[in-house]
Structure 1
Amino acid sequence: MDNKESANYLSEYFQILIGILLTSLGLKAFLLPNGFLDGGVTGIALLVRTQVDINMSYLLVLFSIPFLVLGFFTVSKRIVVKSIISILGVALLIHFENFQTITEDKLLISIFGGLLVGSGIGIAIRNGSVLDGSEILGIYLNDKFGISIGKIVLFFNIILFSITAFVVSVEVALYSILTYIIAAKVTDTVIEGFEDFIGVTIVSKKFNLIKIAILEELGTGLTVYKGSSGFGSKGKTEDFDIIHSIINRIDIKKMYRIVHKIDPEAFIVEFDVNSVKGGVLRHYIDKKKNKKLEKFKAKVSKNEH
């Protein structure tokens, strides 16, 4: 193992530790003292804790075991090992740390409890660990029956919160749903990143002019695919370049205006992008010093005339 790989491992486990601390703080300082629930296995442990006098740490480990066993057969062993370490870490912190209750306001408890738990779970997942076994169940059922993981987790939590409304109270169930929604949204945000990127694929006969316009006016990078002749609404088409680019969502309207101005009949496909690395996306092209762009513009201008 070289130094770079060792540094990556250390970074992963350090970030998982941060996730464990945030989740533990959300549970011990907000949700536990007030009897509020989160979703998934943590929610089951919290619900049982309201009915029986058993330490929350024991319940969390106990209810996680079946999901970890399932994970042993459905996900990589490395993820299972990290998840065992993470769940034990949360259980130990909850057991030994004495986080003070910060507020008794029910709305603040739901919001900040969800924020902390969601941030912790998101950081852990981003680094290859699971703090809640319901995600492992979702992966298993998705592989087995093709049902989306999101729907499985949602159905799991609908049952959980319905039982909460019946066993504890409707009010606690409603606040717990709010906590779960916030935690789920924060988890997604942490996993996918705070920057909202979008992918665009453009098919047009005026591909060269569109390339120049995007490079000049948006200054973002492009990937070009060679398209073969096909058959569309106007019959057989000629060979052309297919333009592919990743831009910030805030620029999407400007992208459409640029393309429409050159070719109102251009075919544009837009799709979400969760993670982007490398390329020139973050280091916008210097439009003034780019000699290759100037040569390309001159060549296109000559062909157009």
Structure 2
Amino acid sequence: MVVAFFCGPPVISNAGRVVTFPILTQDKLLISVFGGFFLGAGIGLAMRGGGVLDGTEILAVYASKKTSLTLSDVILLLNILIFAVAAYVLSVETALYSILAYLSAAKTIDLIIDGIEEYTGVTIVSGRSDAIRRMITEELGRGATVYSGKRGYGSRGELPQGIDIVFTVITRLELSRLTTEVEKIDRQAFLVMHSVKETRGGGVKKRPLH
């Protein structure tokens, strides 16, 4: 069934009065996208609080711990299987709109569960690696790993001398501050950034969902 948050029926409140929700749109595409957004927001907030809405989320939490799939991936796959049956019983169009709604919901779940605490791994190659390492540990309060390396070929030719390379894991919200501070120390520093899907051990702590 297509998730229709914008054109729901009247709901009876606890006081016995009828609360009427206005119909904002009849467009099925808008209903699917934004309905999926609000659905994902509800599921994501519930899971961040340690709860679930139905058996699908319970299975998703269990499967995400046993596999490399995220919670939203498992929920989306389960619902695609359900909607495949709906396409046979009801109609292909209805099933496709429903899948679109859950695609939107899956992205919203990822944003709420992982977006705020999403970690980024940053590798910094600089001749002033010790100053950068102190800035990360003392000013940002993050851990850093320093390992030895050698420069390769660049615009200045081969540089055979060794160099210390700094690696750290920070949150997405701290990334802008890190790059600004590194630029203050060494404007020629080379930075490589990549998303970190999962971390274990060390000083990086992430609150478990369940």
Measured against the shorter chain, the TM-score band is 0.5 to 0.7
Partner in structure 2 of residue 182 of structure 1: 104
Q: Give the superposition deviation at 1:170.
A: 1.8
1:148 aligns with 2:69: yes
Partner in structure 2 of residue 102 of structure 1: 22
Partners of 1:248 and 1:178 lie apart in 2 by 29
Q: Give the superposition deviation at 1:132.
A: 3.2
Match of 2:188 among 249, 262, 273: 262
Partners of 1:222 and 1:201 lie apart in 2 by 17
Partners of 1:204 and 1:252 lie apart in 2 by 17
Give the residue type in structure 2 aligned to 1:174: L
Partners of 1:273 and 1:152 lie apart in 2 by 16
Other structure's SS at 1:262 match: coil
Q: Give the superposition deviation at 1:101.
A: 5.0
In structure 2, the gaps of 5 or more residues are 153-158, 199-210
Partner in structure 2 of residue 87 of structure 1: none
Corresponding residue pairs, total: 178
1:242 aligns with 2:166: yes
Partners of 2:17 and 2:99 lie apart in 1 by 26
1:55-134 mapped onto 2 (5 Å cutoff) = 100-103=20-23, 105=26, 106-134=28-56
Partners of 1:188 and 1:143 lie apart in 2 by 15
Partners of 1:256 and 1:101 lie apart in 2 by 50
- Return closer, same or farther for 1:202/1:165 CA change in 2, 3 Å cut-off: same
Q: Give the superposition deviation at 1:124.
A: 1.0
Deviation sequence 1:66-86 (CA, Å, 0-9, x none): xxxxxxxxxxxxxxxxxxxxx
Other structure's SS at 2:176 match: helix
Give the residue type in structure 1 aligned to 2:69: S
In our comparison, the structure showing a higher alpha carbon Rg is 1
Identity of aligned residues (%): 33
- Return closer, same or farther for 1:189/1:170 CA change in 2, 3 Å cut-off: same
Say if 1:224 and 1:244, in contact at 8 Å, map to a contact too. Answer: yes
Q: Give the superposition deviation at 1:257.
A: 8.8
Partners of 2:7 and 2:140 lie apart in 1 by 46
Match of 2:94 among 172, 190, 211: 172
Say if 2:151 and 2:161, in contact at 8 Å, map to a contact too. Answer: yes
Tell me which moved more, 148-157 or 180-189: 148-157
Partners of 2:143 and 2:64 lie apart in 1 by 35
Deviation sequence 1:220-277 (CA, Å, 0-9, x none): 7264546365789788957x573536364883996699388434xx464533489xxx
- Return closer, same or farther for 1:176/1:245 CA change in 2, 3 Å cut-off: closer
> Structure 1 runs of 4+ off > 6 angstroms?
230-236
Deviation sequence 1:169-224 (CA, Å, 0-9, x none): 12211221222122222222222356977442424442145469x79xxxx72645
Partners of 2:81 and 2:6 lie apart in 1 by 23
Partner in structure 2 of residue 221 of structure 1: 140
Partners of 1:268 and 1:159 lie apart in 2 by 39
Partners of 2:103 and 2:17 lie apart in 1 by 27
Say if 1:161 and 1:173, in contact at 8 Å, map to a contact too. Answer: yes
TM-score, normalised relative to structure 1: 0.43
- Return closer, same or farther for 1:172/1:32 CA change in 2, 3 Å cut-off: farther
Partners of 1:185 and 1:168 lie apart in 2 by 26
Q: Give the superposition deviation at 1:125.
A: 0.9
Partner in structure 1 of residue 176 of structure 2: 251
In structure 1, the gaps of 5 or more residues are 1-26, 34-92, 275-305
